[in-house]
Amino acid sequence: MKKALVLGSGFVSEPLVEYLTRESSNVTVTLASILKDQADTIASKYPRVKSIFLDVTGQPDLLSKLIGEVDIVVSLLPPALHPRIASVCIKNKVNMVTASYCLPPLAALSEEATNAGVSIINEVGLDPGIDHLLAMECFDEIHSKGGKVESFISYCGGLPAPEASHNALRYKFSWSPRCALFNTLNPAKYLKDGEIVEIPAGGALMDAIETRNFLPGLQFEGHPNRDSLMYKKLYGIPEAATILRGTLRYQGNANAIKALHLLGLIDPKPIPALDSNNALDISWRQLICQLLHHFDEISYDNLKHQLLKVFKCDMQKLDTIESLGLLDDVLVQKMDSPLDTLSNYLSQKLAFGENERDLVALLHEVQILWPDGSRELREINLIAHGEPGEIKQKGTVGPFTADIYQPMLNRLRGEGIVAETKSKFL
């Protein structure tokens, strides 16, 4: 039997463990997490799984021992920990997979990994991941026929199914709430008609919204996601004048997120009122008052009036704060910073309920110039509801070549995850 080490016991871990331990599988799993109770719960549901407590930063010897005992490591931990884990994988000559972007500290290990004969595969989740697979398959087909990619615009998102999306954010958390919220503070840059467009950090992403309504009855909006410029080289489309990769949400999400930004609720810096060790008990309403610099108790109606001033009379923003329970006299579970406190609260408030489905929505818009001078606009849509030995490349790599993306697409299609392509000539 093959042996896999899965690091982390968050939202994404259980579906992976379920996949690895199916009857047709020949894999045993060690699930290692600093949250042992969570790991125990997952392990108890599936065969051939054992759970173990592991602090990746504080137990380097145990980390090395566990990695040395397996055939592959899947890290579902925060990206900042991946270089540390990858270094241990390289020393033990064990391959590693992550769903995260390949950030510079991890990319710097590529030569060392190559020399050790180790593959470190990154960006193979949903976004980044499945979006890459479908894009590369399309680009390779275009180039094989002599065509050129003039424009590539892509939006992708993991969302609640429409019937489960009735809340202020039009969103529920199927992965780390902290990451999802913090990502709205990221900077971004993309290429539009040959010009570089840059969006500064701090929340300006929520002002860079484009409407995308490609499914009947559903209204989406999207914003740019990180650095799209690097994909000109990674995708092998130097001819493209427009390249934008973005995040997809239901319409109204950005305005709701802006309400949280304006109140400082997505600030990652600790504040005295939320000191988990020393601060006095505080309710959500009292916290909002303090964030507005009203340190004396004010009435509910007066607080709403003050919020409307901050929101410039935008009732949707006020409804967001009110419907999320952030004006209630419920005690806050203090987590030091507004971001961590809100993330913890929303992980419960906006968790998926029993029998609620999630949904993956992806849209690629590819404009093609063919050798005969004709132009084609091709749309690749993917909508999906929730219900070894093939990769030869070594080093830190992503799914940008056919030997990597094609086996993954074949597996996805075997799971019933199939994209739809529409095309029209311009």
Catalytic residues: 127
Burial (CB count within 10 angstroms: exposed 0-12, middle 13-18, buried 19+), residue 36 = middle
Number of residues in the chain: 426
Q: How far apart are CA 122 and CA 133, in angstroms?
A: 12
Closest alpha carbon to 91 in 121, 111, 73, 116: 116
Beta carbons of 349 and 324 less than 8 angstroms apart = yes
Maximum distance among all Cα pairs of the chain, rounded to whole angstroms: 72
Amino acid at the residue 17: V
Instruction: Enumerate the β-bridge partners of residue 369.
Output: 148, 375
Q: 324 is written with which tokens?
A: 């999320």
Q: How far apart are CA 187 and CA 198, in angstroms?
A: 8
Angle at 103 between CA 99 and CA 104, to 5 degrees: 150
Would you call 340 helix, strand, or coil by DSSP?
helix
Q: How far apart are CA 176 and CA 78, in angstroms?
A: 9
H helices of 235-283, where?
253-262
Would you call 122 helix, strand, or coil by DSSP?
coil
Alpha carbon 192 to its chain's center: 24
